[in-house]
């Protein structure tokens, strides 16, 4: 992709839509006039996604002179095509699923629940526009004192960045240009047309038949959401499980849920060719050498991400990179010691919260000679399917592959009172500790609101609090989070060895 192709405000916006027009006024203001550059900036940032915005706001708040450059939409993927619109859509899908399932709770709905897809998508655009003020060019300029440049930033040399014909001299710089959807080279795909998460939220109507290519987090989330909203969804995945980065039993729970709701999950299957027949999109699939044609109305590509490196002039600045992104050390410095990177462009964890905290690391190290390391960050990740999947640290499969001995403690939600009362019993809390020691190495939570529960374990790991200590933390009853305390109880029971038990018996007998 050529850099000039990326200079348009952004894909997936509806011309004339009042919500998208409000969004543009905030994050890519028409007629925006770039400021006259300062003589020298403490920090120049290319990219105004999560990492760039956090770096700019944090540095300016500490008194630094900051310039922020963005060629598309401020707010980046998270606001415009990722977290905000997708979770808004998922909320509507969750509501319709709950309405159709009230009989399990003894509630009879007066009429079948139906989806107003136009209203659902309008709500997505309205909420995105409402939140966009936080990331707006006017806010960063007028309230935070950042020099905001709308245009294409490129390194002129190791100490200067050019944008819109101007030259910005910097003491330190940050590259935070993020990633874009990775579209595989499949015969006919470009010609027939497809959507990614960047253009999915401008769908004018609900596709009756939707093909989703890829069963990672985005693919699974959108497949379930659109199935609930009324589409017939087929997921095509080359791997032998959905969510390939998760442990197999976790993936199996999610796959079972998708299939139970009607999603057609095709594992070990490749999309070989895309064609058109009688005005319909035809997908030629290959599964174990067997060919099959699948007819769909829309195709969603969710096969991964690729770093936005084009047109940055990295060679002129002496910044090395690879197909995976910009190369950085543990302090997020590039091969040019004056330039740092933050967010998806340099991390292997493509999450908003990871971008946020990598930017905080950069502020310390770039401006104040800090020695903060990215390896010290405890980063959880969540997949917002139903059931949700939340994980931090090592999983069982990863620990085995590294040869790390672990003890594992599990509490299934079918044994947790609140989960039983809510009728949300699918899933479990699973916590791994170092073999023979009370040190948490990782945890996986699968189930309703898992994303809201994982924070307690992240805090424990970050603060060096052992699993046994969590057993003494009083949790309200009844709550799902009691499952975490109960894992702590299970750990403490392992400390009651036969010898210890015998000693207790002797002491109790003596006290009688």
**DSSP code of 183?**
-
The pLDDT tens digits for 146-186 are 999 999 999 999 999 999 999 999 999 999 999 999 999 99
Q: Model-level pTM?
A: 0.93
The first and second tokens of residue 101, run together, are: 């399932």
Question: Could you give the dihedral angle defined by the CA atoms of residues 74, 76, 79 and 85, in that order, rounded to the nearest 10 degrees?
Answer: 130
Name 278's bridge partners: none
The first and second tokens of residue 151, run together, are: 């245009």
For residues 374 and 328, give the distance between their C-alpha atoms in angstroms, rounded to a whole number. Answer: 10
Residue 215 has pLDDT above 70, yes or no: yes
Q: What integer pLDDT is reported at residue 5 of this predicted model? A: 40
Q: Average pLDDT for residues 272-280, to the nearest whole number?
A: 90
| Ordered alpha helix ranges (H), 369-497 | 396-402, 417-422, 450-463, 467-470, 482-494
Residue 509 has pLDDT above 90, yes or no: no
Residue 464 has pLDDT above 70, yes or no: yes
CA distances from 362 to 95, 107, 179, 405 (A): 40, 53, 19, 34
The beta strands (E) that lie in 97-189 are given as: 147-150, 153-155, 160-163, 166-175, 179-181
HSE at residue 225, side-chain half, CA atoms within 13 A, is 27
Give the mean pLDDT of the chain: 94
132 touches 1 (CB < 8 A): no
Name 161's bridge partners: 155, 168
In this predicted model, which residue has the larger pLDDT, 370 or 470?
Answer: 470
Residue 8 binned pLDDT confidence (cut-offs 50, 70, 90): low
């Amino acid at each position: 992709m050529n850099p000039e192709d990326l200079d348009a405000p952004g894909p997936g916006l509806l011309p004339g839509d009042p919500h998208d027009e409000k969004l543009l006024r905030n994050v890519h203001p028409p007629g925006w006039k770039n400021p006259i550059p300062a003589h020298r900036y403490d920090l120049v940032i290319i990219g105004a996604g999560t990492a760039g915005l956090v770096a700019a706001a944090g540095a300016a708040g500490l008194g630094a002179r900051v310039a922020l450059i963005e060629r598309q939409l401020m707010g980046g993927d998270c606001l415009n095509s990722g977290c905000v619109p997708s979770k808004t859509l998922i909320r509507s899908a969750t509501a319709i699923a709950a309405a159709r399932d009230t009989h399990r709770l003894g509630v009879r709905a007066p009429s079948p629940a139906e989806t107003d897809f136009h209203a659902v998508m309008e709500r997505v655009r309205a909420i995105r526009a409402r939140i966009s003020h936080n990331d707006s060019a006017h806010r960063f300029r007028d309230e935070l004192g950042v020099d905001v440049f709308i245009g294409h930033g490129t390194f002129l040399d190791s100490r200067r960045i050019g944008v819109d014909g101007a030259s910005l001299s910097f003491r330190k710089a940050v590259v935070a240009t993020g990633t874009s959807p990775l579209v595989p080279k499949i015969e006919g795909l470009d010609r027939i047309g497809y959507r990614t998460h960047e253009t999915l939220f401008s769908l004018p109507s609900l596709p009756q038949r939707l093909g989703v290519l890829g069963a990672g987090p985005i693919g699974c989330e959108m497949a379930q959401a659109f199935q609930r909203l009324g589409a017939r969804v087929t997921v095509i995945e080359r791997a032998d499980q959905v969510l390939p980065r998760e442990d197999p039993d976790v993936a199996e729970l999610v796959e079972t849920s998708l299939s139970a709701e009607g999603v057609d999950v095709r594992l070990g299957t490749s999309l070989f060719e895309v064609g058109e027949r009688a005005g319909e999109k035809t997908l030629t699939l290959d599964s174990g050498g067997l060919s099959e044609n699948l007819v769909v109305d829309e195709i969603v590509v969710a096969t991964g991400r690729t770093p936005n490196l084009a047109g940055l002039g990295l060679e002129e600045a002496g910044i090395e990179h690879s197909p995976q992104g910009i190369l950085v050390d543990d302090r997020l410095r590039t091969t040019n010691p004056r330039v740092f990177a933050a967010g998806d462009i340099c991390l292997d964890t493509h999450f908003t919260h990871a971008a946020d905290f990598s930017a905080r690391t950069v502020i310390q190290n770039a401006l104040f000679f800090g020695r903060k390391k990215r390896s010290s960050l405890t980063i959880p990740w969540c997949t917002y399917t139903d059931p949700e999947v939340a994980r931090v640290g090592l999983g069982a499969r990863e620990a085995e592959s590294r040869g790390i001995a672990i003890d594992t403690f599990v509490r299934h939600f079918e044994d947790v009172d609140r989960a039983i009362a809510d009728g949300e019993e699918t899933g479990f809390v699973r916590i791994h500790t170092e073999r023979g020691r009370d040190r948490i190495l990782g945890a996986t939570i699968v189930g309703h609101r898992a994303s809201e529960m994982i924070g307690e374990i992240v805090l424990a790991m970050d603060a060096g609090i052992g699993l046994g200590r969590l057993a003494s933390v009083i949790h309200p009853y009844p709550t799902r989070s009691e499952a975490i305390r109960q894992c702590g109880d299970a750990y403490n029971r392992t400390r009651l060895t036969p010898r210890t038990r015998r000693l207790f018996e002797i002491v109790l007998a003596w006290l009688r």
